[in-house]
C-alpha cells in the first residue's frame, strides 16, 4: 500500500526585515519552497515590498 511520497521539498515563509525594523503597520511576507536536503540553512532572498515600494531582504521564519 503506497501512502504517497514525502519528498525533500518544504514550504517556507519569507518575512521582510526592513519592514519589521521600521515599525510601520502590516508585514510583507512571501511563501516559497526549498529542498531541505540541499539547503539546510535559512533562506534569504531579495523580494519586492509593496508597502515600502522597493526590493528588500526577506528572511525565512519559523
pLDDT tens-digit profile of 26-59?
889 999 999 999 999 999 999 999 999 999 999 9
pLDDT of amino acid 24:
82
Cell triple for residue 15?
518575512
Name the residue with higher pLDDT: 24 or 33.
33
What is the distance between the terminal CA atoms of the chain, rounded to a whole angstrom?
A: 33
Collapsing DSSP states into helix, strand and coil, what is residue 11?
Answer: strand
pLDDT band at residue 25 under the 50/70/90 scheme: confident
Tell me the domain boundaries of the chain.
Answer: 9-61
pLDDT band at residue 11 under the 50/70/90 scheme: very high
What CATH class does 9-61 carry? mainly beta
What are the distances in angstroms from CA 7 to CA 25, 35, 36, 43? Answer: 37, 9, 9, 19
pTM confidence score:
0.80
Amino acid at each position: 500500500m503506497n501512502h504517497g511520497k514525502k519528498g525533500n521539498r518544504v514550504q517556507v515563509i519569507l518575512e521582510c526585515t526592513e519592514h519589521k525594523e521600521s515599525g510601520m503597520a502590516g508585514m510583507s511576507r512571501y511563501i516559497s519552497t526549498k529542498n531541505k536536503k540541499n539547503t539546510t540553512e535559512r533562506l534569504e532572498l531579495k523580494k519586492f515590498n509593496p508597502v515600502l515600494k522597493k526590493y528588500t531582504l526577506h528572511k525565512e521564519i519559523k
